[in-house]
């Protein structure tokens, strides 16, 4: 990728024109969302309430000097876009919002949401515009520009995005994908040449920052909030339209009567959400803003804002300074919030679906998937035999490990990497010492925990190679630590993109790391502990 990333950095003069590629056939380029659902097809960029609508046409606002900084070629491939087409002037014009895909009505979706537990009314795509919906190899994808200018849903904001938050979304989308976690994807990162004013820590110090646009890709960007708003507005026809559209387009495998379809669909959403959350807990990802408008109906990780990755394990941690008081969206609370959000979705759907039993079944499935899935995921992390007869023993040893980690400062990722390599016959706590951020008085406790742990493994006759293999596949070596992104951002803001390209390369194989790259898999350095952008992030983006 490094090569293509560098290529993508080529100047406008070197880009070739690929107008032919842009002329999609009607099978490839469709308008299914806007054709099936009620919206307003006249372009508007004026913030407004849009009762009665599920979308509004909004064309991107042109930018002054777009530059394609980088793109992920596997995402381009997914869309059937060749490297030379990716680097063409025509493509840059579209990825910056300076030109439209002919035959497609660009739109912003209208949705609401519960923010921090409170109903917030109409929100909508305030700076996201869907610029194409295309099918390649029988798979449908939406292309959405984030930061492309004002839409009817921009409320009091400017519709733009800054480079730092765009880099964070660009990198993390793909990092999650390569970790095996359901997510929206990122195609491209374009700088706009225009600056954007932001008050990073909301402390009265607004300053200009470079603007950027990420093109993100997903089969659909529909959120729980898309269903909540028509329910709150008592727009039953719109809500029914949206339910039927979603099932037909995004869950085509579901069959039966309408009631049966809705029941199966809701259960599927519950299960997918549970599976996504288990994966977040596996790798130490904290989303930061799990409002219902940031929950994908497809169970994808969506809207990368003030997210973060655990350095030292702390179930109470959230990177989002806006949530520092209540810590609603802290690491340990994510499954509970996922459930809360599903209940909010169920409440919305219940305004048009009579049989409320189906929602109870779905939520029950969520609970079951979470409790079984979490234990099974933890057994894999610890390399324990995941069979029922050992459930209690396993749960005991796992819980004790988390208790100890919570009370000390232990690096979450490195702890499991070290545990994979521990000498099971002759365990020594020394092998874990490198994973501690501070001297710990709990060393004796860790030592006796390690002995009991190794004893369980020996007693249960876990196949050693299999254990090693499972642990390596479950515990990543490379995670996109906040400070690594921050370093890439600081360099990028000075015009040096090398760190960004390096991270793009590393995040592709998080379970393997070359010896020469081991410096990217170390503990967070001390300087980053309390630094803005590393451990503290706001919603300002
Ligand atoms: P978020 O917390 O980023 O998910 O955003 C919450 C809502 O605010 C969504 O409706 C966003 O589209 C909108 N929003 C966030 N930032 C901006 C911005 N710079 N311009 C317009 N709308 C925004
Ligand atoms: Mg959002």
The domain spans of the chain are: 2-224, 253-365, 381-474, 482-528
Residue 3's pLDDT band (boundaries 50, 70, 90)?
very low
Per-residue pLDDT reduced to its tens digit, 151-174 = 999 999 999 999 999 999 999 999
Known active-site residue 293 = yes
Pairing of strands 39-40, 55-57: parallel
Task: Establish whether residue 287 lines the binding site of ligand 1, counting it when its CB lies within 6 angstroms of any ligand atom.
Answer: no
Residue whose CA is at the smallest distance from ligand 1 atom 13: 126
- The predicted pLDDT at position 379 comes to 93
- Residues by chain with Cβ below 5 Å of ion ligand 2: 294, 303
Residues in the chain: 541
CB atoms within 10 A of CB 93: 15
**Cβ proximity of 266 and 149 under 8 Å:** no
The response to whether residue 158 sits with its C-beta less than 6 Å from ligand 1 reads yes
For residues 342-361, average pLDDT: 97
Tell how far the Cα of 127 is from the centroid of ligand 1, in angstroms: 6
Q: Which ligand lies nearest the alpha carbon of 221?
A: 2
Give the closest residue (by CA) to ligand 1 atom 20: 159
Q: What is the pLDDT of residue 15?
A: 42
Ligand 2 centroid from CA 82, angstroms = 30
Give 113 Cα–ligand 1 centroid separation in angstroms. Answer: 12
Nearest CA to ligand 1 atom 11: 126
pLDDT confidence of residue 375: 92
Q: Which ligand is nearest to the CA of 121?
A: 1
Mean pLDDT throughout 403-432? 96
> Measured in angstroms, how far is the CA atom of residue 223 from the centroid of ligand 2?
9
Q: Ligand 1, from 56, 127, 146, 216: best to mutate by most atoms within 8 Å of Cβ?
A: 127
Identify which ligand lies nearest to the alpha carbon of 109. 1
**Termini Cα distance of the chain:** 27
pLDDT, residue 7, reads 34
Which are the contacts of 168, defined by CB distance < 8 A and separation ≥ 6? 304, 307, 485, 489
| Residue 405 DSSP code | H
Q: Is 124's C-beta closer than 6 angstroms to any atom of ligand 1?
A: yes
Mean pLDDT, residues 438-465 = 91
Ligand 1 contact via 152 beta carbon (within 6 Å): no
Centre of ligand 2 to C-alpha 539, Å, is 10
Token digits of residue 391: 């459930």
Which residues sit opposite 58 in a β-bridge?
A: none
Please state the rounded mean pLDDT for residues 268-278. 98
**Among 409, 405, 404, 445, CA closest to 523:** 409
Q: In this predicted model, what pLDDT tens digit does every residue of 371-393 receive, in sequence order? A: 999 999 999 999 997 766 667 88
* pTM of the full structure: 0.95
CB of 539 within 6 A of ligand 1: the answer is yes
In the predicted structure, residue 243 carries a pLDDT above the cut 80: yes
Q: How many CB atoms lie within 10 A of CB 2?
A: 12
Interacting residues of 310 by C-beta distance below 8 A, sequence separation 6+:
284, 286, 317, 331, 412, 413
Q: Is the pLDDT of residue 86 over 50?
A: yes
Residues 6+ apart with CB under 8 A from 256: 264
Residue 137 in tokens = 């190899």
Q: How far apart are CA 284 and CA 330, in angstroms?
A: 11
Q: Which of 73, 89, 125, 293 is catalytic?
A: 293
pLDDT in tens, 292-344: 999 999 999 999 999 999 999 999 999 999 999 999 999 999 999 999 999 99
Task: Tell which atom from ligand 1 comes closest to the C-alpha of 196.
Answer: 19
Grade residue 23 by pLDDT with cuts at 50, 70 and 90. low
Q: Which of 56, 126, 301 to mutate to test the pocket of ligand 1 (most atoms within 8 A of CB)?
A: 126
> Which atom, in ligand 1's list, is nearest to the CA of 303?
4
- Does residue 152 contact residue 48 with C-beta atoms inside 8 Å? yes
Indicate whether 115 pLDDT > 80.
yes
At residue 4, does pLDDT exceed 70? Answer: no
């Amino acid at each position: 990728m490094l090569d293509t990333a560098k290529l993508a950095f080529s100047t406008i003069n070197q880009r070739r024109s690929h107008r032919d590629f842009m002329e999609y056939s009607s099978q490839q380029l469709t308008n299914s969302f806007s054709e099936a659902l009620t919206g307003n097809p006249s372009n508007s960029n004026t913030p407004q309430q849009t009762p009665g609508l599920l979308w509004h046409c909004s064309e991107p606002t042109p930018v002054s000097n777009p530059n394609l900084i980088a793109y992920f070629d596997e995402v381009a491939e997914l869309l059937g876009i060749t490297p030379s087409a990716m680097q063409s002037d025509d493509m840059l014009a579209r990825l910056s919002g300076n030109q439209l895909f002919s035959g497609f009505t660009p739109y912003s979706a209208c949705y609401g949401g519960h923010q921090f537990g409170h109903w917030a009314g109409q929100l909508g795509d305030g700076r996201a515009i869907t610029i194409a919906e295309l099918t390649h190899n029988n798979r449908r994808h939406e292309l959405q520009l984030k930061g492309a200018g004002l839409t009817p849903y921009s409320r009091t904001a400017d519709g733009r995005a800054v480079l730092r938050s765009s880099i964070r979304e660009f990198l993390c989308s793909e990092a999650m994908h390569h970790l095996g976690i359901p997510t929206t994807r990122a195609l491209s990162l374009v700088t706009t040449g225009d600056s954007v004013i932001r008050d990073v820590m909301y402390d009265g110090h607004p300053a200009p920052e470079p603007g950027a646009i990420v093109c993100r890709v997903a089969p659909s960007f529909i959120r729980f909030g898309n269903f909540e708003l028509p329910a709150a507005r008592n727009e039953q026809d719109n809500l029914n339209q949206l339910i039927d559209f979603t099932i037909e387009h995004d869950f085509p495998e579901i069959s039966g009567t309408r009631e049966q379809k809705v029941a199966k669909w809701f259960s599927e959403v519950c299960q997918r959400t549970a599976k996504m959350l288990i994966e977040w807990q596996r790798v130490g990802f904290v989303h930061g803003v799990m409002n219902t408008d940031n929950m994908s109906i497809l169970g994808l990780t969506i809207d990368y804002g003030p997210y973060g990755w655990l350095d030292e394990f702390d179930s109470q941690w959230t990177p989002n300074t806006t949530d520092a008081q209540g810590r609603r969206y802290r690491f340990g609370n994510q499954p509970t919030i996922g459930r809360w959000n599903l209940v909010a979705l169920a409440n919305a759907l219940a305004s048009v679906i009579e049989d409320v039993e189906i929602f109870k079944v779905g939520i029950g499935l969520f609970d079951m998937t979470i409790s079984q899935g979490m234990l099974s995921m933890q057994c894999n992390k610890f390399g324990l035999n995941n069979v029922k007869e050992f459930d209690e023993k396993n749960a005991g040893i796992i819980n004790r490990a988390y208790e100890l980690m919570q009370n000390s400062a232990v690096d979450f990722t490195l702890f499991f990497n070290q545990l994979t390599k521990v000498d099971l016959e002759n365990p020594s706590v020394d092998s874990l010492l490198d994973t501690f951020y501070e001297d710990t008085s709990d060393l004796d406790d860790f030592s006796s925990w390690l002995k009991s742990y190794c004893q369980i493994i020996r007693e249960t006759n876990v196949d050693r190679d299999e254990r090693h293999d499972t642990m390596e596949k479950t515990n990543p070596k490379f995670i996109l630590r906040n400070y690594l992104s921050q370093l890439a951002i600081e360099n990028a803001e000075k015009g040096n993109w090398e760190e960004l390209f390096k991270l793009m390369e590393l995040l592709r194989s998080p379970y393997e790391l070359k010896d020469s790259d081991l410096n990217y898999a170390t503990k967070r350095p001390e300087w980053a502990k309390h630094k803005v952008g590393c451990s503290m992030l706001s919603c300002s983006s």
